[in-house]
Structure 1
Amino acid sequence: MTEPQRLERPGQPGLAFHKRDGSGPGVMFLGGFKSDMTGTKATALQAWADDAGRAFLRFDYSAHGASDGAWEDATISQWREDALAMLDQQTTGPQILVGSSMGGWMALLLALARPEKVKALVLVAPAADFTETLIWEQLPFHIRQQIEDEGQWLRPNPYGPPYPITKTLIEDGRNWSVLNAPIPFEGPVRILHGWHDRDVPWSHGLRVLEQITSNDVRYELSKAGDHGLSAPEDLKALVRMIESVSS
């Protein structure tokens, strides 16, 4: 695999990315919380873009993958700025934003900030507002109190060492809530969710559908799918969704 390119920013963490020039509309992949651009969906879409000759961009947020930054300093604001920098500086023309899990929230924030640059949204288990609804509201009182008093809590991680959930992350996330009011986006939206998703319940994806103002919104539920949605049939469904909003 080729080495990633770098976007260096004065006073900001440097970002690692892979970019493919090609036909449009371009596709920009936004990964999930604690994920990176070497994941199954990102690399499967890279292979699809290579075969189809499509413009494609994938990257790592700060404190993720090959990008710079300390996890303890990371916030939704920072990751939004990272995604905006990539959209503004590394893409040309309207983009199809493919957002997985937290990346679904990022895609919605980009659509609000740069509507002229977003042709369509393809959201995979979109975890909009997850810091509040899927983390904070689910925590028992004593852990909330620990975060308030100590500034962080080490969250168990089935995929590796525990990692901190910081008070700063939780509080900052409240500044970017999108599910408490209509989301003004009129382009095509496709949502793919797994019935067996234990991290972002499929009903959470329906909340996103409900708030988007576009009438061209379709929600597909994979009965066998989990949060990863990386099985061959789910990846085929993802590509089909992208192609359906490409014309």
Structure 2
Amino acid sequence: MSDAERITTPQGRELAYHKTGGAGDTRPGVVFLGGFKSDMQGTKAIFLESWCAGLGLPFLRFDYSGHGESSGAFLDGCIGDWAEDAEFAISELTTGPQILVGSSMGGWISLLMARRLADRVAGLVTIAAAPDFTEDSMWAGFDKAQRLALEMVQQVSLPSDYGEPYVITRRLIEDGRDHLVLRDPVPLGFPVRLLHGTADTDVAMSVALRLLDKAVGEDIHLRFVKGADHRFSTPECLSLIGSAIEEVLARQ
């Protein structure tokens, strides 16, 4: 696999990325937006790179700052920083309309991009989207001791099914409140496909239903996949992601 290329944001953060070209036609490109503490080497990102190459579609995957091969420490980051990273990467590394594929936290980031880069977004596919999770899942689930720890030592540790515990900082929680998207209607004037597994223990199905309720648009579909977990990375699930992108492409 080739080495990642790098680009520096106006804030001085160095982002690592991989970009593959398309066939030079007028079809949109595809941008993958990863999840919380994940990176661009994950199963879904690599699958999509190959899948897009097979169709001759431009494709971009990158690491937010503090993730993967990009600069910075994860604990120093927050939703606002990672949204800035995504906005810069899309603006500087792609041309024309793009289909955003957002996984977990990337679903939240993709909704922020739909607001900031509305003229560049041709469609949206989310996978176990987790909008507003810092407030509605983390903060809402903290007990008094955990909230006190955030106040006193600025961070708290949460167990993770994916390795070492998540260290959640006070900055992450407070910054998240400045970027909440589900408190008001969410205008999505392009094809949207929301994918969610019924066995997802990280993001409840109620989150997908709430997003569907808040989303405003003429072509928005939610699909629950029985038995699929949060990773949504089985061959069957990956095929469904590809099919969802094809549906969005067909409606351009």
Worse-matched range after superposition: 39-48 or 134-143: 134-143
* Aligned ranges 1:71-220 → 2 under 5 Å: 71-220=74-223
TM-score, normalized by length of structure 1?
Answer: 0.97
Q: Hey, what's the Cα distance between the residues in 2 that align with 1:37 and 1:169?
A: 21
Q: d(CA) in 1 for partners of 2:9 and 2:76?
A: 16
C-alpha distance in 2, partners of 1:230/1:9? 31
Provide the residue aligned with 2:14 in structure 1.
14
Per-residue CA deviations over 1:166-187 (Å, capped at 9, x if unaligned) read: 0000000000000010012211
Deviates more, 1:53-62 or 1:156-165: 156-165
Deviation at 1:13, TM superposition (A): 1.4
**In 1, Cα distance between equivalents of 2:51 and 2:88:** 24
Deviation track 1:106-133 (CA, whole Å, cap 9, x = no partner) reads 0000000010000111010110001011
Q: Do the aligned partners of 2:83 and 2:113 also contact (CA within 8 Å) in 1? A: yes
Counterpart for residue 72 of structure 2 = 69
Runs of 4+ with >6 A deviation: none
Pick aligned residue for 2:228 from 221, 225, 228: 225
How far the C-alpha of 1:154 sits from its partner, in A, is 2.1
* SS of residue paired to 1:219: strand
Question: How far apart, in 1, do the equivalents of 2:15 and 2:88 lie?
Answer: 9
Residues 36-73 of structure 1, C-alpha deviation per residue, up to 9 Å, x if partnerless? 00001000101101211110000000000000011221
2:83 and 2:109 in contact (8 A); partners too = yes
**Aligned mate of 2:60, from 57, 61, 65:** 57
Output the amino acid matched with 1:13.
R
Which amino acid in structure 2 is aligned with residue 18 of structure 1? Answer: H
Structure 2 residues without counterparts, runs of 5 or longer:
none
The alignment partner of 1:147 has SS state of: helix
3-state secondary structure, aligned to 2:188: coil
| Alignment RMSD (CA, Å) | 1.1
Asked whether the 8 Å contact 2:37–2:74 carries over to 1, the reply is no
Residue pair 2:38, 2:68 contacting (<8 A) in 1 also = yes
Do residues 242 (structure 1) and 245 (structure 2) align?
A: yes
Structure 1: runs of 5+ lacking an equivalent: none
How far residue 159 of structure 1 moved from its aligned partner, in angstroms, is 2.6
Cα distance in 2, alignment partners of residues 241 and 10 from structure 1: 34
TM-score (structure 2 length as normaliser): 0.95
For the residues of structure 2 that align with 1:161 and 1:203, how far apart are their CA atoms? 27
Task: For residues 148-178 of structure 1, give each alpha carbon's deviation from its aligned partner in whole angstroms, at most 9, with x where no partner exists.
Answer: 1111012223332224200000000000000
State which drifts further: 115-124 or 16-25: 16-25
CA displacement at 1:11 relative to structure 2: 4.1
Aligned residues: 247
Among all aligned residue pairs of Structure 1 and Structure 2, give the percentage whose two residues are the same amino acid: 47
Structure 2 Cα separation of the partners of residues 130 and 156 of structure 1 = 16
Per-residue displacement from partner, 1:11-48 (whole Å, max 9, x unpaired)?
42100000011043100000000100000100010110
Alignment-mate amino acid for residue 200 of structure 2: D
